[in-house]
A and B are shown apart, each in its own frame.
Chain A
Amino acid sequence: MLGFLQHPVVVTAEVNLNMVALTAVGLLSRLWQLAYPRAVVFDEVYYGQYISFYMKRIFFLDGSGPPFGHMLLALGGYLGGFDGNFLWNRIGAEYSSNVPVWSLRLLPALSGALSVPMAYEIVWELGFSHCAATGAALLMLIENALITQSRLMLLESVLIFFNLLAVLSYLKFSNSQKHRPFSPRWWFWLVLTGVACSCAVGIKYVGVFTYLLVLGVAAVHAWHLIGDQTLSNVRVLCHLLARAAALVALPVLVYLLFFYAHLLLLYRSGPHDQVMSSAFQASLEGGLARVTQGQPLEVAFGSQVTLKNVFGQPVPCWLHSHQSTYPMIYENGRGSSHQQQVTCYPFKDVNNWWIVKDPGRHQLVVNNPPRPVRHGDVVQLVHGMTTRLLNTHDVAAPLSPHAQEVSCYIDYNISMPPQNLWRLDIVNRESDTDVWKTILSEVRFVHVNTSAILKLSGVPLPDWGFRQLEVVGEKLSWGYHESTVWNVEEHRYGRSQEQKERELELHSPTQVDISRNLSFMARFSELQWRMLTVRGDDSEHKYSSTPLDWVMLDTSIAYWLHPRTSAQIHLLGNVVIWASASLATLVYALLFVWYLLRRRRRVCDLPEDRWLRWVLAGALCAGGWAVNYLPFFLMEKTLFLYHYLPALTFQILLLPVVLEHVGDHLCRSQLQRSLFIALVVAWFTSACHVSNMLRPLTYGDRSLSPSELKALRWKDSWDILIRKY
């Protein structure tokens, strides 16, 4: 019973001093003087505003990446007690005392520091020597661009951290696969792989490339597993299911979790509301919710409504009309109907109100009980302020001549009869008898006479139309497009029969109350879709560059300049490391092809296990570089040097792998080997030296004289700032 007492309690600890030392210097290099400079540095101006939004719980929309990265940065702010009160308006602005700079920058710095021992672990797990592993870690340690990027409130270092974590945990998992599958350790690393992958994707979309790489390697391993006939079918199935659950299902869940937390945290309305649909806006506290709070849900005959276009491009706007008419003759000589203009107007206005009228009756008020409008009903839309009816006819629209003009009908007593009947088509209906609902229903108006569809063409009208957006009747209904879809935003039941009273009513705000809740999945899918489609300003930037500039470091970014001295932070890599890493990739590729061809001819230069190790190292490191670099050639957004850093880390991992291979296998004699080691030492020393020379630009702590700066400008394309005194 008390058998366990018969043995002494023994704790054996194995401490890898290499790891400890590397972690320590990693922390030192990244955390040293972290709060300096106490000013906004480069993209901090961009991420900072989102941190403030998080602190104030205000909803925002950022198309640059999923919310996890922003949330991590905000976590730093939360831990440091930041209240969000800082105006992130320009680079170089001094931080006020309420901004906890140190804790805001802590998380990226920690991830940057931990990447150093992780590089060690990865190379070791790949089956290479401790020496190579230490080399990889040291290269990560002294790479200036990585240091600069991780010491600031930026996301690249966090992304790199999770990329490396995903690769490392997959390696640990696949190494434990041989000995103890389904052990707790096996499960731990498998699950961690999945989680790390989804974190990487959650920080920036480019993380998806590393995820795909890991998935690809896992798929190849799984395929070998299927071919392993020593395993029973059930066991193979278990293996496959475990992988599918941990590497596919789990990341999806974690990714959804990020959005769940994001939407949970941000519940107040803010400046980016306009981009979202009315339903989404109404789910936020304040903003539209305050206006629409208490509106009746079902649109009835006699309802007063504002109609918002769902597509909202180029700007969100509402169906609008006003007293002015279309000009008799356009500038290009075409004629118009000279009837009242109908436009789309991007501001709230009393002229945006329309009344839904039953064509069979004359009254413009809601009956008691209200008669709801259903899918397929024919309605007329009466403009509230002018009581004219929405009309379209076979007249070319002002700026889109292939489509019909939409107007509010004015009876000129000429042979142009009113054509003002519209059939209601609820796009997102569940059944054909659905009721038209405020905010929730997305509807199309199909013209009864011509089957044209009311559409926002998005073209701004000339001066006669006050630069409002053109609305047309689209004859060629090429299926579904969001620009033909409208939804009711503000809504109330009209009560006044008299025009004067009605006008008064239109001017007064709406009341009543119903709560409207969107499900999480609906909010998630809308937010995700908007994030992917929102258009950033694609204008060129002074420091933007092309992917070709990155490989040999032909570009740089000035991050920050001291307001008085010439101390500055500059994103500049260690040229020696960049060049030799690119060279190592090339050498790897050539050697790989050479070995592959020789093996095909049954000449095995490497023993089988060495070969497999060499292939795996290449697949993860060279592959990691390729998947993180090559896709940028296809991207059309503005690119910067720091986009290359994730690819660079993989290249750095490959560098000692290639060196060790060359030393072990290509240097035949002892003399060659000694010579090679001497070369490597010399090369590493020069890398350290370069790193040290660039240190003032990395940390920005020392002001250099113009001549020193000039001396550092090794390439003409580096824009090192030199003050003219």
Chain B
Amino acid sequence: MLCATSRLLAARAASALPAHSRGRGLAPRSRRRELHFPGHPELPPGDFLAGRFARHSVPAGRRAVLRRGRMPPAAGGGLAGSELRPRKGRYGSQAARAAGRDVTTEAATARSPKRPAPPSSRRFEAAGRWALLALVTLTSFVTRFHRLDQPPHICWDETHFGKMGSYYINRTFFFDVHPPLGKMLIGLAGYLSGYDGTFLFQKPGDNYEHHSYMGMRGFCAFLGSMLIPLAYLTVLELSRSLPAALLTAAFLTFDTGCLTLSQYILLDPILMFFIMAAMLSMVKYNSCANRPFSAPWWFWLSLTGINLAGALGVKFVGLFIILQVGWNTLSDLWHLFGDLSLSMVTLGKHLTARILCLIVLPLALYIATYAVHFMVLNKSGPGDGFFSSAFQARLSGNNLHNASIPEHLAYGSVITVKNLRMAVGYLHSHRHFYPEGVGARQQQVTTYLHKDYNNLWIIKKHNSNSDPLDPSLPVEFVRHGDIIRLEHKETSRNLHSHYHEAPLTRKHYQVTGYGINGSGDSNDFWRIEVINRKFGNRIKVLRSRIRLIHLVTGCVLGSSGKVLPKWGWEQLEVTCTPYLKETLSSIWNVEDHINPKLPNISLEVLQPSFPEIMLESHMVMIRGNNGLKPKDNEFTSKPWHWPVNFQGLRFSGVNDTDFRVYLLGNPVVWWLNLLSLALYILSASVFAVAVQRGARLPAEVEGLSQVLLRGGGQLLLGWMMHYFPFFLMGRVLYFHHYFPAMLFSSMLTGLLWDTLLRLCAWSLASYPLAGCVHTLGILSLLLGTAYSFYLFHPLAYGMVGPLAQDPRSPMAGLRWLESWDF
């Protein structure tokens, strides 16, 4: 392998071609495979490029001689055997590629004549490349699948995602803050591998026993292993340099963090797979930009779209890669738009193609995943309470499913009232008073998520206490704007409010149950209003969004969503808010409805349509995400911890007798990444300023700087996109959120070091042995990473024995930061 590397290195180095960079409009657009000896007729005389072009038009056969004459020892030119020369075409065109895609149509004219090349060596080349890719893939699979079955118990979040996989197999409805695709895939993998969905996934540490879990883990490990070839190909495409790609692959293969995260039933390997696949297909399609509307172009473009849908379908952070692809597409279109040789029709085609492949296709796929999700999960389950009444009616087993109840609210009906805000629940009261010192000592009114008899209320007229269910009286419907009284069925007290401050939200008024056997005072009167309805309309069960306005104080019944202390049985506070803002917490709907005098109608008609279901589940997910707020005195991971590898996550095991797995990045790789980011910014800005100052770089350097600025720029953008948004997020954050960004950062590191070492070799060109600098540098990086992996591999593959604080532990010497607690 090393042998192959060095040879390829040499080939690459020897073939680094001079190219144009700033003569954008004139830049010949060559196809990748052919080397451009551009015969562009309109070269500007006197331009410094012209001289360079002139030199290029030397017949191919003499080029090697020329080159050697110019910089014989540079970059191991001596190593580059002449049989490797055909590869120049492949790797030499990097600068041309990088120079921008301004002139697409000129590509055809700028094609170089095919150079004769010995077919055998070309085949050998291709085989070598494939072999290298196979080797990289194999290493990654071996490392990921090694000891995959260990530990045979639930680790960390497997308890969630494994459980959700089971839910799909059992078809019970659940709620999660992430979109469904990832969990569906896990469920599918489990189903196909013979897992029957009977394991409970109760808590981390539970043994799997006879249940088949390897299918699910294997699926995740498979996708996790695919990350490395994907990263390898991406860097290869961006830098056209095998050593850079190889470095990247090594960094990722030997990173304990990526390894650990790929070995368990988690969403992250799936998410990262889609992110990297989207990135690769985007880069590939950028490379096809000179052959628009060709088959590979369409293939990569639509593959990008598919992968975007996948990334977003697994977690909402997939949005970041969408933004990156969007940005890339915009700048791409912008370049095309500036190309006056393209007609508006062609531009329209370009635009349509992108809209189709990058917006319509992903959206369709994303919606399709939801369609499947709702189709599969058709039984009532633990997620019901999070959703609105109308939504629950879809689920078989839920009491609203196929239930038939009267449609319009009438006086005398027994009802339950549900708050529209997520996870607040039903209006509730019980035979307990507010304690001393908390407002008036009257009966508590709360909201409660579970269904029980204390949620039942009777709707009565405000001025008569006659039993409306008396058959002699006609049915009287409740209408929008009516003054009503709500009597708690179990305790016969009225819903009541008054000028006392609410127990927790001091600016609101207290809501109590008051009166004896339904007779209270004027503070029990509420006006019932339907949102967006005209006066006098009837009130529909489930569908009408109602507000209850207290007649005397003018306040609105709502739930603050705050949890009451012990005395309130940790149910949620109900208040009457004097601020008449239309927020969901003060809007209610009627869910159960019992009235013997009215005919029951089937609720099928009230079922929400698919777009409504989509919208609701998204609202619920977004709120669920925002609801994951860290508590005051909890230790939480901060985004700045992540790149420094400040602290890991315990996947399994706490005590020294346990089988312990600790998610922590390989510090050598991570700190190198951190260093490389700084180095990259430094070197890129030096180059950018130099170019802006109009400095004329030698051709070699010019080509390398283009790789650095363009290829590296995309990777840096990827890193920033996947990292900085976390600083703005209010939710609880975990270490593993950094891993997508870490992939980009590692790719950048690979690309940067290769380029820097090349630059180094170039600047030392006058010394003998300068060519070895690059080779040696790459080799030492590879070996160093591999050795650090050897040191840290127990983190991922599991440790048993004394904790690292203990000097007897074999890991004691590796606890380089005090905050690592493995």
Give residues of chain A (174-233) contacting chain B, Cβ–Cβ below 8 Å. Answer: 223, 226-227, 229, 233
- Find chain A residues with CB under 8 A from B730 CB: 636
Query: Would A539 and B578 count as touching, CB distance under 8 A?
Result: no
B652 smallest CB distance to A (angstroms)? 14
| Alpha-carbon gap, A459 to B563, bound state (A) | 14
Interface centre among B337, B507, B633, B650 (most CB of A within 10 A): B633
Picked from A331, A479, A542, A600, the residue with its CB within 8 Å of the CB of B578 is: A542
Contact A223 B692 (CB under 8 A): yes
A540 touches B579 (CB 8 A): yes
Shortest C-beta distance, A450 to chain B (Å), equals: 11
B569 to chain A, nearest CB (A): 12
CA A480 – CA B818 in complex, angstroms?
A: 10
Closest to A229 in B: B694
Q: Is the CB of A479 within 8 A of B646?
A: yes
- Which of chain A's residues 279-314 have a Cβ closer than 8 Å to chain B? 311, 313-314
Residue among B338, B340, B632, B646 with the most chain A CB within 10 A?
B632
Using Cβ atoms and an 8 Å threshold, which residues of chain B touch A458?
Answer: 632-633
Q: Decide if A451 is an interface residue (CB 8 Å cutoff).
A: yes
Residue B724 CB within 8 A of the other chain: no
A236 contacts which chain B residues (CB < 8 A)? 693
Within the complex, the shortest CB–CB distance from B241 to chain A, in Å, comes to 30
Does more than half of chain A's interface fall in helix, strand or loop, or is it mixed? loop
Please, which residue of chain B has its CB at the minimum distance from the CB of A223? Answer: B692
Q: Are B692 and A540 in contact (CB under 8 A)?
A: no
Give A473-498 as 1s and 0s: 1 = Cβ < 8 Å from B's Cβ atoms.
Answer: 00011111101000000000000000
Q: Are A229 and B633 in contact (CB under 8 A)?
A: no
Whole-angstrom distance between the Cβ of B340 and the nearest chain A Cβ: 6
Whether the Cβ atoms of A634 and B728 lie closer than 8 Å is yes
Interface of B is mostly: loop
**What residues of B have a CB within 8 angstroms of the CB of A233 in the complex?**
693
Name the residue on A nearest B730 (C-beta): A636
B372, CB-defined interface residue at 8 Å: no
Q: How many whole Å from B651's CB to the nearest CB in chain A? A: 14
Q: Select which of B578, B646, B650, B692 is within 8 A of A226 by beta carbon.
A: B692
**B124 CB-CB contact with A under 8 Å:** no
Whether A479 and B579, one on each chain, are in contact in the complex, defined by CB atoms closer than 8 angstroms, is: no
B657 to A: closest C-beta gap in Å: 15
Query: Is the Cβ of A479 less than 8 Å from the Cβ of B647?
Result: yes
A455 touches B334 (CB 8 A): no
- Encoded as 1 (CB less than 8 Å from any A CB) or 0, chain B from 693 to 704 comes to 110000000000
B62 on the interface (CB 8 Å rule)? no
One of A459, A600, A636 near B334 (C-beta < 8 A): A600
Q: Is B505 an interface residue (CB 8 A)?
A: yes
Residue of A nearest to B817 (CB): A479
List A contacts of B566 (CB < 8 A): 331, 462
B819 at the interface (CB under 8 A from A): yes
A459 nearest in chain B by CB position: B633
Cα A459 to Cα B566 in complex, Å, equals 13
A597 at the interface (CB under 8 A from B): yes
Residues of chain A with a CB closer than 8 A to B337's CB: 597, 600-601
Q: Is B689 an interface residue (CB 8 A)?
A: yes
If A313-B632, A451-B805, A479-B819 touch, whether A226 touches B579 (CB-CB below 8 Å) is no
Question: A539-B505, A601-B337 are contacts. A481–B635 as well, Cβ < 8 Å?
Answer: yes
* Contact flags A573-608 to B (C-beta < 8 A → 1, else 0): 000000000000000000000000100111000000
B83 within 8 A of partner (CB): no
Mark out the residues of chain B between 647 and 700 whose CB falls within 8 Å of any chain A CB in the assembled complex: 647, 650, 654, 689, 692-694
Q: Which residues of A contact B646 (CB under 8 A)?
A: 479
* Cα–Cα distance between A331 and B565 once the two chains are bound (Å): 13
Contact between B581 and A540, CB atoms less than 8 A apart? yes
A227 CA to B690 CA, complexed, in Å: 9
Write the chain B residue with the least CB distance to A457: B633
B821 at the interface (CB under 8 A from A): yes
B694 contact set on A, CB distance < 8 A: 227, 229
Residues of B in contact, count (CB < 8 Å): 28
A314 → chain B, closest Cβ, in Å?
Answer: 7
Interfacial chain A residues near B338, Cβ < 8 Å: 600-601
Q: Which residues of A contact B633 (CB under 8 A)?
A: 311, 313, 455-459, 481, 483
**Cα distance A539–B506 in the bound complex, in angstroms:** 9
In the bound complex, what is the Cα–Cα distance between A451 and B647 (angstroms)?
Answer: 18
Collect the chain A residues with CB atoms within 8 Å of residue B650's CB.
476
CB distance from A559 to the nearest CB of B (A): 18
B340 contacts across to A, CB distance below 8 A? 601-602
A111 to chain B minimum Cβ distance, whole angstroms, is 32
A227 touches B692 (CB 8 A): yes
- The A-contacting residues of B in range 1-51, CB under 8 angstroms, are none
Residues of B within 8 A of A457 (CB): 633
- Which residues of B are found within 8 Å of A478, using beta-carbon distances? 635, 647, 819, 821
Complex interface bits, B577-594 against A, C-beta within 8 A gives 1, otherwise 0? 111010000000000000
Contacts of B693 in A (CB 8 A): 226-227, 229, 233, 236
For the complex formed, measure the closest distance between the CB of B510 and the CB atoms of chain A, giving whole angstroms. Answer: 16
Bound Cα distance A223, B630 (Å): 42
Chain A 218-255 near chain B by CB (<8 Å), digits 1 or 0: 00000100110100010010000000000000000000
**Pair B821/A477 contact, Cβ less than 8 Å:** yes
B497-527: which have CB < 8 Å to A?
505, 507
Bound CA span A708–B13, Å? 85
Residues of chain B lying within 8 A (CB to CB) of residue A331: 566
Residue of B nearest to A597 (CB): B337
A229 to B647, CA, bound (A): 49
Q: What per-residue 1/0 map shows which CB atoms of B324-356 lie under 8 Å from chain A?
A: 000000000010011010000000000000000
Asked if B632 contacts A314 (CB within 8 A), the reply is yes
State the Cβ distance, B727 to closest chain A Cβ, in Å: 11
Identify the closest chain B residue to A719 (Cβ).
B580
Q: How far is the CA of A94 from the CA of B646 in the complex (A)?
A: 57
Cα A455 to Cα B647 with chains together (Å): 19
Contacts of A313 in B (CB 8 A): 632-633
Which residues B803-822 have CB closer than 8 A to chain A? 805, 819, 821
A458 to B635, CA, bound (A): 13
Q: A600-B337, A634-B728 are in contact. Are A226 and B689 (CB under 8 A)?
A: yes
A-contact 0/1 string along B238-275, CB 8 Å cutoff? 00000000000000000000000000000000000000
Q: How far is the CB of B689 from chain A (nearest CB, A)?
A: 6
Central interface residue in A226, A314, A462, A476, by most chain B CB within 10 Å: A226
Q: How far is the CB of B422 from chain A (nearest CB, A)?
A: 18
Q: List the B residue with the shortest CB-CB distance to A400.
A: B633
- Taken residue by residue from 618 to 654, chain B's Cβ proximity to chain A (1 for < 8 Å, 0 otherwise) reads as 0000000000000011010000010000110010001
In the bound assembly, the distance between CA atoms of A540 and B694 in angstroms comes to: 57
Alpha-carbon separation in the docked complex, A480 to B819 (Å): 8
Q: How far is the CB of A365 from chain B (nearest CB, A)?
A: 35
Give the Cβ gap from A548 to chain B, nearest Cβ, in Å.
13
B579–A542 touching, CB < 8 Å: yes
Alpha-carbon separation in the docked complex, A314 to B693 (Å): 56
Task: State A313–B632 Cα separation when bound (angstroms).
Answer: 7
Measured in the bound complex, the distance between the Cα atoms of B578 and A479 in whole Å is 45
Shortest Cβ distance from B103 into chain A, in angstroms? 15
**Interface 1/0s, chain B 558-576, versus A by CB < 8 A?**
0000000010000000000
Given A600-B334, A636-B730, decide whether A479 and B635 contact each other with a Cβ distance below 8 A. yes
- Distance in Å: Cβ of B487 to nearest Cβ of chain A: 30
Shortest CB-to-CB span from B116 to chain A, Å, is: 42
Q: List 24 A-B contacts (CB under 8 A).
A: A226-B689, A226-B693, A229-B693, A229-B694, A313-B632, A314-B632, A331-B566, A451-B805, A462-B566, A476-B635, A476-B650, A476-B821, A477-B821, A479-B641, A479-B646, A483-B633, A540-B581, A541-B579, A542-B578, A542-B579, A597-B337, A600-B337, A602-B340, A634-B728
Contacts A480-B819, A542-B579 aside, 13 further interface pairs with beta carbons under 8 A come to A311-B633, A313-B633, A314-B632, A457-B633, A462-B566, A478-B821, A483-B633, A539-B505, A540-B581, A601-B337, A601-B340, A602-B340, A636-B730
Q: Which 6 A-B pairs have the closest CB atoms?
A: A478-B635, A458-B633, A479-B819, A483-B633, A227-B692, A600-B338
